[in-house]
Copies of this chain bind each other. A is one copy, B any other.
Amino acid sequence: MTIDVAHAAEFLRENDNYLILMHASPDGDTLGCGWALCRALRSMGKNANAVCPDPIPNKFNYMFRGLPMQEFETENIICVDVADTKLLGEMKELGDKAELCIDHHISNTHYAKRVLVKPEYAAAAELVYDVVCALETDIDKDTANCLYTGIATDTGCFKYSNTTPQSHMIAAVMIKCGAETAAINYAMFDLKTQGRLQLEREVLNGIKYFEDGKVALVSVPLSMLENIPDIDSDDVGAISALPRQIEGVEVGITLKEKKKGVFKASLRSGENINCAEICMKFGGGGHERSAGCSFTSSFEEAEKAIVDACREAVRKIGTL
């Protein structure tokens, strides 16, 4: 059943003993939603815990500061920023029993008994903010830090095209509530491990250009990762943004070796190239400006296939 913010708040007020589920491979939005909602519910005198099927990267630790697990018997399961119970890993079965889902993905599968979903929201944290406002609980500094983190990370610190006036308005309110935005932004967007830095350098040393620099490709073989200490999947994921940032590049390709003989291509583009269309040719998909596909082949074959497809796409816009 699709519900609105007022009904979600009513459900939360009338019940108790909540377990909040955050999705696997957690990001700032799902964690920000989970811990903000957990804090709001506890401040109302409710029992609430928030859990994630995967380990939490250290950089997010500030969000659960002073939030020890409570002992109680779970009565109601809530999923936040979880479009599909498949994204809950080993907690999938818990997700299948969800009483409430709060999410902003258009792909939400409506698995929960009550679904509050707003695909036009940049971050699920904006929707949790609406719910917390409807609950009329105070937003303290820690809760503000959580909600700000969700919005900032899902909008690329207000850089991406999904950023709306509402994203900025809520950020303004979070600062007024005491959110430590500069420290959060430094940790989320500027801080790099030495491993990340080394990876970026090695990757960029091997960059290849095609079609007068309109197509750029970087590759991340397993052997490269094995030689860099202190590197995590977050660091490897961030590489995908690099080739597209170079002036003149219409489509940036990152080709990662997932395991021996399996390569994942991640594409990023500007206004002119439809990445999803290119990736669908190889059984992949995604969004217009960001998509991916996989190859079970040699590196050379994968490279030739994806580069040729991108060159063809770039040549097409040249003749418009």
Contacts and interface: CB of A to CB of B under 8 A. Distances in A.
A182 to B, nearest CB: 4
Size class of the A contact interface (CB-based, 8 Å): 35 or more
A175 B181 contact: no
Contacts of A191: 245-247
A97 to B, nearest CB: 38
Interface in A141-167: 157-161, 163-167
B204 A197 contact: yes
A193 interface: yes
A262 interface: no
Given A161-B182, A169-B172, A205 B201 contact: yes
Interface in A179-227: 181-182, 185-186, 189-194, 197, 201, 204-205, 213
A201 B246 CA distance: 13
A168 interface: yes
B201 A185 contact: no
A171 interface: yes
A169 B166 CA distance: 9
Contacts of A193: 246-247
A245 to B, nearest CB: 5
Contacts of A192: 245-247
A213 B201 contact: no
Contacts of A213: 194
B164 A175 contact: yes
A192 B163 CA distance: 22
A166 B186 CA distance: 20
Contact of A168 (B169, B204, B248): B169
Contact of A159 (B176, B190, B204, B248): B190
A173 interface: yes
A163 B181 contact: yes
Contacts of A185: 158-160
B160 A182 contact: yes
Interface string A50-76: 000000000000000000000000000
- Of the listed residues A157, A168, A172, A181, the one surrounded by the most CB atoms of chain B closer than 10 A to its CB is A168
Given A160-B182, A197-B204, A201-B201, 9 more contacts: A159-B189, A163-B182, A165-B176, A167-B172, A168-B168, A168-B171, A168-B172, A168-B175, A186-B270
Interface of A: 157-161, 163-169, 171-173, 175-176, 181-182, 185-186, 189-194, 197, 201, 204-205, 213, 241, 245-248, 270
| The 6 nearest A-B residue pairs measured at CB | A161-B182, A165-B172, A168-B172, A159-B185, A168-B168, A168-B171
